[in-house]
Amino acid sequence: MDQKLSNGHANDPPSSNGHQDSSQPVQEDNTLGKMRKGSPDSFCDLRGGPSMPLFGMDIGGTLTKLVYFEPDNIDDFDQAEQQTLRTIHRYLMGSTAYGTTGIRDVHLEMKEQNICGRQGRIHFIRFPTSQMPAFIDLAKYRKFSGLASGICATGGGAYMFEDVFESEVHLQLHKYDELDSLVKGIHYIDRYNLNSECYYFCNPLDPSSCEKMPFNFQDPYPYLVVNIGSGVSILSVRSKSQYSRVSGTSLGGGTFLGLCCLLTGCETFEEAIELASRGDSENIDKLVKDIYGGDYNKFGLKGDAVASSFGQMMSKEKRKSAKKEDLARATLVTLTNNIGSIARMCAKTEKIERVVFVGNFLRVNTISMKLLAFAMEYWSNGSLKALFLEHEVCIRIAICKILLSQCLDFRFVDP
């Protein structure tokens, strides 16, 4: 269950703009390197460990995610540290924190996590990046600078708000590359979540027989990551230390929400998905059967395949009868089909059979997940498998979850 936090700031939709260019393979740097202001190395000596408390932020184009590690036993801390940890616990775990738009995702809490030699649990909070000015005001009021020496951060907002955090809140944002964090985060969550994390769908478009099946992700290489945030980035991952950005598109979750706001008057991601769940895109799209009268067998196109997204809207009469629910559904199908098509072409080019879909676009969005699962298998004649992660589906991308691990253990190592 989500816990809404009132009196401060936070909410939903997609996250991470997904447009960072990382076209060259990225290799891990095993050297300590020079200490730099605002860099990870300036926050934590790799030979030691950071002091508590531990925070991480993923400041995306639409959504900001906050992660906090809470030690189980604080008795072995000194009195000042104990008081700080108790203050943070009361604040973050209580019912008053980030305003009516703020959510603490209780069901995503990760227990029995060992970080920096301490046992504890990881908590997750989210709020709209548009509320960042109010969050900064809150951080000033709550004197966050007295509770933490710095905050590990990723996403475009880590750069956009860096100076404001330092001048207004007196906290440094110690920046991490978001795509590097994403890849490491996927591995971290899959290995350290106590429950099965990775899964796929059997019979995704058949309500009577559709079933979620666990997938063993212990030896996943190579695989594609399709990170669907405000925009989309597609990564080819060859090992735990090497990946490259092979493609992307500006048509992502932000596009879906923006178009739905224009077409239906909705205001939130959840509202847009709810409308789509009750709509019928066939009233908006032109299908193969609308053109050929049935299947186009020569090229294996089923009659109910979309031939022209929003093609019915060329008709004045069809436009008059269009419902908000149908428009939302057609928008969702259009964006999902586009993402799936690009992902399939990338998988074919890279000669990869596993495609992991992540990002907040998939939160509370089983419609898109099942469409992607069906499309990957159908159009590849069964050679491609669409994979999903429990934490990705429920709330957010894995970027935020690895931040704590990065500031304690900069080099990800398979257990």
Structural domains in the chain (count) = 3
Asked if residue 57 is part of any domain, the answer here is yes
d(CA 324, CA 263): 7
23 pLDDT more than 60: no
Map tokens 């590990």 to a residue.
152
Average pLDDT taken over every residue of the chain? 78
Co-location of 108 and 153 in the same domain: yes
Residue 149: pLDDT band with limits 50, 70, 90: low
Half-sphere exposure of 341 (CA within 13 A, CB side): 9
Asked if residue 70 is part of any domain, the answer here is yes
Co-location of 184 and 224 in the same domain: no
Residues sharing a CB contact under 8 Å with residue 395, sequence separation 6 or more, in sequence order: 65, 105, 108, 124, 126, 360, 363
Q: What CATH number is attached to the domain comprising 98?
A: 3.30.420.510
Co-location of 366 and 308 in the same domain: no
Inter-residue contact 327 to 262 (CB < 8 Å): no
Q: How many CB atoms are closer than 10 A to CB 198?
A: 22
163 pLDDT more than 90: yes
Average confidence (pLDDT) over 8-27 = 38
Co-location of 236 and 382 in the same domain: yes
Inter-residue contact 62 to 129 (CB < 8 Å): yes
Asked if residue 7 is part of any domain, the answer here is no
Co-location of 159 and 249 in the same domain: no
Domain that includes residue 300, residue range: 285-321
393 pLDDT more than 70: no
Inter-residue contact 247 to 261 (CB < 8 Å): no
The pLDDT > 70 percentage for the chain reads: 77
Co-location of 126 and 268 in the same domain: no
SS3 assignment, position 248: strand
The C-alpha torsion from 392 through 401 and 15 to 18, rounded to 10°, is -100
Radius of gyration of the chain (CA): 22
Give the pLDDT confidence of 317-372 residue by residue, as tens digits.
999 999 999 999 999 999 999 999 999 999 999 999 999 999 889 988 999 999 99
Co-location of 55 and 181 in the same domain: yes
Give the pLDDT confidence of 48-88 residue by residue, as tens digits.
445 566 778 888 888 888 888 888 887 777 777 777 777 77
Q: What pLDDT does residue 410 have?
A: 32
d(CA 297, CA 166): 62
d(CA 377, CA 252): 21
| Helix pair 324-350, 253-264: axis angle to 10 deg | 160
Co-location of 334 and 315 in the same domain: no
Co-location of 309 and 171 in the same domain: no
Closest CA to 120 of 78, 189, 73: 73
Co-location of 218 and 295 in the same domain: no
Asked if residue 103 is part of any domain, the answer here is yes
Give the pLDDT confidence of 88-124 residue by residue, as tens digits.
777 666 544 445 566 777 777 778 877 777 788 888 7
* pLDDT greater at residue 308 or residue 139: 308
Q: What pLDDT does residue 306 have?
A: 95
Co-location of 240 and 253 in the same domain: yes
Residues taking part in catalysis: 178
Q: What is the pTM of this model?
A: 0.76
Task: Write out the two tokens for 280.
Answer: 């019928």
∠ Cα 151 360 12 (to 5°): 75
